[in-house]
Structure 1
């Protein structure tokens, strides 16, 4: 809607000025209007805003390079140039089918420019933190817990977050495999008969408590050093 309104305004302004000078200048003004509205302005806006047009701003979107970096003038110009053909000249049909077939939702302009559109405003929903099982509190406080590999830690968090939705057999089998992997990073082993899910929850809760304590000590050290200066 903004583009159409802008097209009418620019066309009227340039057209009125050109009609006073002759028919040839009127045709030149028509071409200049199309270039200004459909190419120059979108290119300038996306370049200055690093990939955000008015529509993208309203929808919480941004155009980025294929390597997720900010777009440059060249990227914005190619997107606008190809976009005039696929969106306005062909009523968006090529753009629709291109985005439908692309894994990243790319239109033809994105393929030509090496860009794609990402969503910026995404609500961060973190799973509830694992609670320490009361009967493992004493063991976890005295246990030697090594740093878990990132992949294993993520797998445990996902398992604990989805445990309530799994059937009992799947929950036990998956928990047992994860507990066996965790046992290599825990000493001494938990009390006999400890349920795998309780062990995983205790390890994650203990790691979180120790990390928080370490961060608090580091913050206190920084405050003390700044205070001494």
Structure 2
């Protein structure tokens, strides 16, 4: 998210909403999920792994058919039929079945840490998997991934043509680790923390605040007060309501509130990723 200017707090919120819109997943209940789409190059790597696996299956199946024909187990006329069935199985049937049963996973996506989900955040079904597989025949196999790459470069979530037709996208399944423990809300700031709005804090400023909180005790008093005052001046335009607190207390309180809310968001994201993972009995 781009860091908005401190001198214009009103456009800050508008800019933040616009920047976040391309990465948010809106559920059917109109709840925005902060999920991370899988990047273009990781998607390409996963797709390449899946295509290599498919080619290996085609080679193995063709060799098996050749052996059966050579041994007289099946007639020569059945070889062409077998090749056609093998092509349909590798390019459409197997990808559809794997994606449906694994709820959006495949060998390649498992390797790069991705999963196909619906645009509302739910697991894809048979219809979405079939549409993606049928579109993949054109954009992956006939064009060797060229069409998928061109479409993916110009879509916000690196979606290929099959994703656009099926209403799906690929998200990361390897979520960020939960943040390490940090000092809590300073005494006397609990009431303010319950109603504080720190969502407009830029990521870089939040990182500087967290770094200061972790290392403040090791600073000289004069340097500590100077750094806290500078951070507090940068924080004030992004915090509402503004508490009546000294600079260091303000920075510590804002950092603690931001961390607690990120912690809860990561827990919900991990729980949602776990809910999409098929159980052993599925």
TM-score (normalizing by structure 1): 0.67
Mapped contact 1:87–1:94 kept (Cα < 8 A): yes
Partner of 2:39: none
1:51-73 residue CA offsets vs partner (Å, 9 max, x unmatched) = 00000011111000111110101
Partner of 1:121: 174
| Aligned counterparts of 1:206 and 1:88: Cα–Cα separation in 2 | 50
Residue 119 of structure 1 and its aligned partner are, at CA, apart by: 1.0
From 166, 170, 173, the equivalent of 2:233 is 173
| Aligned counterparts of 2:138 and 2:190: Cα–Cα separation in 1 | 66
Partner of 1:2: 53
Distance 1:35 1:86, change over 3 A: same
Mapped contact 1:145–1:207 kept (Cα < 8 A): no
Structure 1 residues 70-219: aligned runs within 5 Å: 70-124=123-177, 126=179, 129-130=182-183, 140-141=187-188, 145=192, 147-149=194-196, 152-155=197-200, 159-163=205-209, 171-178=231-238, 181-183=241-243, 189-190=244-245, 194-195=246-247, 197-202=248-253
RMSD value, Cα: 3.6
TM-score (normalizing by structure 2): 0.56
* Richer in helix (by share): 1
Residue 148 of structure 1 and its aligned partner are, at CA, apart by: 1.8
Mapped contact 1:42–1:80 kept (Cα < 8 A): yes
1:6-39 residue CA offsets vs partner (Å, 9 max, x unmatched) = 1112223345556855554332222111001111
Q: Helix, strand or coil: the match of 1:104?
A: coil
Query: Which residues of structure 1 form unaligned runs of 5+?
Result: 184-188, 210-229
Aligned residues: 191
| Aligned counterparts of 1:203 and 1:101: Cα–Cα separation in 2 | 37
Mapped contact 2:92–2:137 kept (Cα < 8 A): yes
